Amino acid sequence: MRGGFANAGWLRYLWCMTIVTVFRSRLREGVESEFQLADAEMSRIAASIEGFIDQKSYVAVDGERVTIVRFADKESHRTWAEHPEHLAVQRRGREVFYSWYDISVGEASYVHLFGDPDV
């Protein structure tokens, strides 16, 4: 999250209708190291885009991965979706990294925040 919880600029995004991407996937065997490098670079690029709010990734015990990414608006999400390096890594993901994936993108109709997510 850029600027941390206390950053008033970040907080204002919570009061608008954010764009949420849920990316579920499974990696092919033997690609973890290469995937981690590409994933770190994509996270860095996403975080540099104006309107990026936050990103979290989780791995379930069965190996399924879930990444949740939030942007402040459709325009910033589109900037990310159409970023040339992101498009190249998507292609590489289909060819090398993923055995399966599912992407859902939607507009949050309600956001409620309690406490500090960084604690």
What confidence score (pLDDT) does residue 52 get?
95
Please state, as a whole number, how many other Cβ atoms lie within 10 Å of the Cβ of residue 101. Answer: 16
pLDDT for the residue 24: 98
**SS3 state at 24:** strand
8 A C-beta contact, residue 55 and residue 43? yes
Could you tell me the pTM of the whole model?
A: 0.82
Whether the predicted pLDDT of 13 surpasses 60: no
Give pLDDT, residue 16.
65
Question: Could you tell me the residue ranges of all domains in the chain?
Answer: 8-107
Is 70 exceeded by the pLDDT of residue 7?
no
Assign 44 to helix, strand or coil.
helix
Mean pLDDT of all residues in 38-57: 95
* Fold of the 8-107 domain: Alpha-Beta Plaits (3.30.70)
Q: What torsion, rounded to 10 degrees, do the Cα atoms 103, 56, 78, 105 define?
A: 30
Residues 55-102 have pLDDT tens digits of: 999 999 999 999 999 999 999 999 999 999 999 999 999 999 999 999
